[in-house]
Structure 1
Amino acid sequence: MWDEALDRARRFADGWLASLPERPVGVPVADAEMRARLDDRLPEEGRPAARVLDELASALEPGLVASGGPRYFGFVTGGALPVALGADWMVAAADQNAAARVMSPAAAAVEEVTGGWVLDLLGLPAEAAVGFVTGAQMANVSCLAAARHALLAAEGWDVEGDGLAGAPVPTVVVGEAVHSTVLRALRLLGLGSGRAVRVGADDQGRMRPERLREALAAIDGPVLVCAQAGQVDTGAGDPFDAVADLVAARPRAWLHVDGAFGLWAAAAPARRHLVAGVERADSWAVDAHKWLNVPYDCAMAIVRDPEALVAAHSTTAAYLTLGGSDPSGRTPESSRRARALPVHAALRHLGRQGVADLVERCCTLARQAADELARHPGIEVLNEVVLNQVLFAPRGVDPGELSQAIARDGTCWVGTSAWHGRPALRLSVSNWSTTPADVTRSTAAITALVDRLA
């Protein structure tokens, strides 16, 4: 019964993975055509598993983006290390509910060990608690929920029991270049994105300490400061030591760091200076499915005070008491897959040196891409390339038109953005399989398109 279905899945996986190095990266099929490839009628009678999987593979393949391939530079998207993909298959086959230790002692043990490895690699406090969540969005939500609990508990307010009506709500302070996931987390937690105090940033998106000092001086009561490791357009990190000094000077304050991809700089000795002082924060959000290259979806919510994280997330259901010793007592989810296993496999496979090499290699390739693009008179690189992000804009060509042309060409894929009101394109090197030849092939395609459009 299992052999036939798994054989079909393996057949699809083999073909798909083998195609990644050379297949067109973008999606040439239109939305309407893609929808038409799927039979939208719910069948009255069931179909054999092998037939279902074969039909799905045939229907979906034209609309699949080669985001795991070596020349996909959109957003900040990693590929999947073979060992992490294999571990993810094991997760699906074992089908463990990782909510409680009693449901899967194996999943709970993997989370404990892997969480410790992550703290060690990133240079974060060994006593911190780690919750494995879907992505940086929920990591930010989880960390800020812990911050909300701690700050209001210090004011004598039980936010989990009494809600926010009438509460001494903390003032949230964010940088001008804050990521949208932090703002959405504030909305989801009832803290309000519009209430957040915006602090001026420099030309790379780094929070200005002098502006933060001015903002904090005007605030009474508890304060929650959200800093950033790896601004999504430039890769820049906030000056954490200076920010931490200002936050530490206040009696009722919490410092959170959104480090979705940039926090991994701490794992590479040559890049660690970019996040110096980040360990002084109270909480950190970091993805695994970006730079660590595990399959979607996986991220970590890390909080220095385990009690704050557990208090914000544990449930009191009589039949299911998820406390600090249970994995889901540290996350917003109850039923959840054992998503820590691919992280564990990736870290065991790479080791400390391998993680550092992965980070450094991507940064070196980003520098290569920036240099090759900048040599073309029709392209301007807009950021200081300190990490894996390259922000650039064409001269005399509409960036949106160039982006569409790049997607149609299929050699590579880059994202669009806007920087200080100027439309731009963003190239992010995050994949373990990208080579210098992939970068040169991609920049050559981009510059040729600039010439053609100009």
Structure 2
Amino acid sequence: MSGDLDFTSADVPTAAPSVASLQQAEASLVTTLPEGGVGFENMKNHILKDIAVGFAGASRSPNFYADTTGNLTDAALFADWLVSTTDQNVQVHLPRETVATTLEATALRSLRLLQQLLSVNETTFPGRIFTTGAAASNLLGIAMGREFVVAEAGRRNSPPSHTSVAELGLLEACLQAGVQSIQIITTRPHSSLYKAVSAAGIGRDSVLLVPLSEDEPWKFDMNVLTQHLSREEAKTIIVVSAAEAVSGRFMSQAEMARIRSLADKYGAWVHVDGAVGLQALILPHTKEYAALNDGVSGFHLADSIAGDAHELLNVPHDCGFFFTRHLELQQIVFRNPGAAYLSTATLSIPSPLNLGLENSRRFRALPVYASLLACGRIWYCTLLERRIALARRIASYIINSTVYQLLPNNDLDTIYTVVLFRARSDSSNMKLISLLDPLNSKQIHISGLLWKGQAAARIAVSSSYVEVDRDFDIIVNALESASITV
């Protein structure tokens, strides 16, 4: 497996290209379409020698910490090459022509293997589909939530009425159901949620943030949540966000159970945006991971779950997944009453045409299937434990530092795969990121952000190349070099 590659400190690939390489790549870009073409060999040399030098090193460097990008396992890279080479159509289930949809959607389907990895009950969540990423999966969850809450409002009318957004449209269905607005209630959402609610016609202003406090922004204020849910004229989609792993602080099992109970009482939909947090489902139930175990153990209570396979499985970036309890509702929302040539040859599986947004869909299942098969559960669990071990070791170093401060507090038990920190000196924070790379060597690459209005730094450990001792030394060297200036 690519995660087992052994780099010495001297030959670890750089995490980002140098300024000179970026300038070379940009200057080499062809801006005028050639009349006759340059030919395959010239094109290949141009891309490899001129352009590729300007690519980020996330897929090869263990020290790319700016995002939870991950990298490709060898199995996923091989399978993705085959996907492009064979160019299968996986939107229509034609088992006499290709095994592609059978692999994706029947007994050995990648999504079922993925559910097994995550211990997500396959019978409880029969609705499943691959998407382009967590943002697209969130859109599926919001669209289904929109359908559910308006239809449920119609069912609770006296007399009951059939108010399907998919059939009547949003305005007419809401009018007949007596719904004046749809509200999205969450705590600390990923930015893609706002895109999803906009595309679903609900509107970004419908997103209401109800965190318990500034110090615990990942928790719902249950009293405020109940007040919003009790508004008769507004129907609610509750979004539990585990997409941004600000340490390992996710919703506890007790809190999820309370949310589920409130949703059932008021006819709300519960969606989990679990891009990063879902990975914690594969951890062993030990004292070391008790806080993380509790933080994800209630996800099975949701109506729908969105995830990013590139963060979870180290497969190509363009790969997300979506699970839902409500397969029939999923088919109502995304039904594709198409032409005869799109008809499904058998009803042995739900037609992919009726499960998601895309009619032209890449065969994303194969890299997932290949990686799960090649690596197995133990490899993925061990990898996540290595990532957590590095993050916690970095956090422990920062706790004992006189220069840096760990955010949001010093609780090591809740550290997951992301470490947030700042310089203790307020005047140093705005230049902290540049100081961590004073020689522009790009050996490590981290990102900056604002935490409570103050500049901070973020180290996201996501590579399968992670090696705790080696990478800890590299990061500490960078932090200590920067601290001389700070």
Question: Are 1:64 and 2:25 matched, yes or no?
Answer: no
Q: Which of 288, 301, 316 is the aligned partner of 2:337?
A: 316
Contact 2:419 2:458 in 1 (8 A): yes
Contact 1:81 1:294 in 2 (8 A): yes
User: Take 2:326 and 2:339, find their aligned partners in 1: how far apart are those partners?
Assistant: 25
Contact 2:446 2:457 in 1 (8 A): yes
Measured against aligned partners, the alpha-carbon deviations of 1:289-345 in whole angstroms (never above 9, x if no partner) come to: 013111221110111111122222221122324797222422211111100111111
- 1:292 maps to what in 2? 313
1:268 CA drift (Å)? 1.4
Question: Are 1:350 and 2:379 matched, yes or no?
Answer: no
Q: Secondary structure at the match of 1:194?
A: helix
Question: Are 1:176 and 2:176 matched, yes or no?
Answer: no
Cα distance change on mapping 1:58 and 1:268 into 2, 3 Å:
same
Cα distance change on mapping 1:18 and 1:97 into 2, 3 Å:
farther
User: Take 1:262 and 1:243, find their aligned partners in 2: how far apart are those partners?
Assistant: 14
1:178 CA drift (Å)? 1.2
Q: Secondary structure at the match of 1:233?
A: coil
- 1:3 maps to what in 2? none
Please give the residue correspondences for 1:201-280 in structure 2 after superposition, counting only pairs within 5 Å.
Answer: 201-202=212-213, 203-208=215-220, 209-218=222-231, 220-249=233-262, 250-270=265-285, 271-280=292-301
- 2:289 maps to what in 1? none
- 1:416 maps to what in 2? 448
Cα distance change on mapping 1:51 and 1:19 into 2, 3 Å:
farther
Contact 1:241 1:278 in 2 (8 A): no
1:453 CA drift (Å)? 2.3
1:83 CA drift (Å)? 1.0
- 2:32 maps to what in 1? 41
State which drifts further: 20-29 or 288-297: 20-29
1:199 CA drift (Å)? 0.7
1:419 CA drift (Å)? 1.4
Question: Are 1:399 and 2:437 matched, yes or no?
Answer: no
Contact 1:221 1:252 in 2 (8 A): no
Contact 1:372 1:440 in 2 (8 A): no
Measured against aligned partners, the alpha-carbon deviations of 1:74-131 in whole angstroms (never above 9, x if no partner) come to: 1211111111111111111111121111286422122221111222222323232111
1:448 CA drift (Å)? 2.7
Cα distance change on mapping 1:201 and 1:50 into 2, 3 Å:
farther
Q: Secondary structure at the match of 1:255?
A: strand
- 1:163 maps to what in 2? 169
Contact 1:72 1:412 in 2 (8 A): yes
- 1:142 maps to what in 2? 140
Return the letter of the residue paired with 2:338: A
User: Take 2:101 and 2:251, find their aligned partners in 1: how far apart are those partners?
Assistant: 34
Return the letter of the residue paired with 1:288: A
Q: Which of 191, 194, 205 is the aligned partner of 2:202?
A: 191
- 2:18 maps to what in 1? 28
- 2:3 maps to what in 1? none
Q: Percent identity?
A: 26
- 1:11 maps to what in 2? none
Q: Secondary structure at the match of 1:100?
A: coil
Return the letter of the residue paired with 2:110: T
Q: Secondary structure at the match of 2:446?
A: strand
1:32 CA drift (Å)? 6.0
Cα distance change on mapping 1:336 and 1:438 into 2, 3 Å:
farther
TM-score by length of 1: 0.89
Cα distance change on mapping 1:326 and 1:309 into 2, 3 Å:
same
1:219 CA drift (Å)? 5.4
Unmatched 5+ stretches in structure 2:
1-6, 155-161, 286-291
Question: Are 1:388 and 2:399 matched, yes or no?
Answer: no
TM-score by length of 2: 0.84
What is the RMSD computed on CA atoms of the aligned residues? 2.5
Return the letter of the residue paired with 1:51: N
1:434 CA drift (Å)? 0.8
Return the letter of the residue paired with 1:406: L
Question: Are 1:366 and 2:391 matched, yes or no?
Answer: yes
Return the letter of the residue paired with 2:51: L
Equivalenced residue count is: 438
State which drifts further: 163-172 or 365-374: 163-172
Measured against aligned partners, the alpha-carbon deviations of 1:343-401 in whole angstroms (never above 9, x if no partner) come to: 11111122222222222221111101212233331111103443111011112253342
Return the letter of the residue paired with 2:368: V
